[in-house]
């Protein structure tokens, strides 16, 4: 039985990951800002789930929350850095600068802060696993992906650089890079409540679902300690690669 801390556990991937890991017998600390959602999940999952109210962008709050963990949940074997978001799909010269800052704060600063706080104990114990949720958006540019994609490229390179720093320890690091994933609030948040646009994004695609990502996380956790999966990229079968854009003059 492992103790797994999952950020952003109140919805989407985080919630599916928490559900599956608890079902498989692990202990899960689920963090989120939305206390009521966490409490509902705690009611559903019982004693193996510990709800930890936290905003990953509030560093003092992160420290306070981690320090408040009860003894039975205080040794974190696996950190799943899932909290993150996309805001907007406008071109760079039209995007809202506040959206950019929010994505940078959550997807990169929040992720590195909590990782830095949890990592020393893993190194000390010579055991642990950090699983970051990246994105195909960090691998392939697309129109309107600007800062969201850049934050996910950061997450990928941070993951690989962690591997470099953790050489000689038994601490493992993986970057999980999903493509088009429906069944979450991701696009509803990106399109700021334009739910029909969010729905259209996935229509007819048979897209990846949160449970598919949860299965991937479980598989990673179940790999033997001598195996490190550096990166794993997933797309729905219906998604593939397009060509580069060429603009021709009249
Ligand atoms: C999610 C993938 O293509 O919707 O990170 O940005 S995409």
206: number of CA atoms within 13 Å, CB side?
Answer: 3
Radius of gyration for the chain, computed over Cα atoms and rounded to the nearest angstrom: 18
Q: What is the CATH number of domain 3-234?
A: 3.40.50.720
Catalytic residue, candidates 113, 140, 142, 148: 148
226: number of CA atoms within 13 Å, CB side?
Answer: 0
Contact in structure between 178 and 208 (CB atoms under 8 Å)? yes
CB count, 10 Å around CB of 75? 15
Span from the CA of 142 to the centroid of ligand 1 (angstroms): 10
Q: How far is CA 141 from its chain centroid?
A: 19
**Distance of alpha carbon 151 from alpha carbon 106, whole angstroms:** 9
Identify the residues whose C-beta falls under 6 Å from ligand 1.
86, 135-137, 178-180
Question: What would the 3-class secondary structure string for 103-159 be?
Answer: HHHHHHHHHHHHHHHHHHHHHHHCCEEEEEECCHHHCCCCCCCHHHHHHHHHHHHHH
Determine which residue's CA is closest to atom 2 belonging to ligand 1.
179
Nearest to 102 by CA among 117, 85, 119: 85
**Distance of alpha carbon 124 from alpha carbon 77, whole angstroms:** 12
The domains of the chain are located at 3-234
**Distance of alpha carbon 39 from alpha carbon 52, whole angstroms:** 9
Span from the CA of 155 to the centroid of ligand 1 (angstroms): 14
Per-residue pLDDT in tens (0 to 9) along the chain, 250 residues:
999 999 999 999 999 999 999 999 999 999 999 999 999 999 999 999 999 999 999 999 999 999 999 999 999 999 999 999 999 999 999 999 999 999 999 999 999 999 999 999 999 999 999 999 999 999 999 999 999 999 999 999 999 999 999 999 999 999 999 999 999 999 999 999 999 999 999 999 999 999 999 999 999 999 999 999 999 999 999 999 998 999 999 8
Residue 135 alpha carbon, nearest atom of ligand 1 = 5
The model's pTM: 0.97
């Amino acid at each position: 039985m492992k103790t797994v801390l999952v950020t952003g556990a109140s919805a989407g991937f985080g919630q599916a990951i928490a559900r599956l890991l608890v079902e498989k017998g692990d202990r899960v600390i689920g963090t989120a800002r939305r206390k009521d959602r966490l409490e509902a999940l705690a009611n559903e999952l019982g004693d193996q789930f510990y709800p930890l109210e936290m905003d990953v962008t509030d560093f003092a709050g992160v420290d306070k929350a981690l320090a408040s963990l009860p003894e039975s949940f205080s040794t974190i074997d696996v950190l799943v850095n899932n909290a993150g978001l996309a805001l907007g799909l406008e071109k760079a010269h039209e995007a809202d600068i506040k959206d950019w800052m929010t994505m940078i704060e959550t997807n990169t600063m929040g992720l590195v802060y909590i990782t830095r706080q949890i990592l020393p104990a893993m190194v000390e114990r010579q055991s642990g696993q950090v699983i970051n949720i990246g994105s195909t958006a960090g691998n392939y540019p697309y129109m309107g992906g600007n800062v969201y994609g850049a934050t996910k490229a950061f997450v990928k390179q941070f993951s690989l650089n962690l591997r470099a720093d953790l050489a000689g320890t038994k601490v493992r690091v993986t970057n999980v890079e999903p493509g088009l994933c429906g069944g979450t609030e991701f696009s509803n948040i990106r399109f700021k409540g334009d739910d029909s646009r969010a729905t259209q994004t996935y229509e007819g695609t048979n897209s990846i679902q949160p449970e598919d990502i949860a299965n991937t996380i479980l598989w990673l956790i179940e790999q033997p300690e001598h195996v490190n999966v550096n990166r794993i990229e997933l797309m729905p079968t219906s998604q593939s690669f397009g060509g580069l854009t060429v603009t021709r003059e009249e």
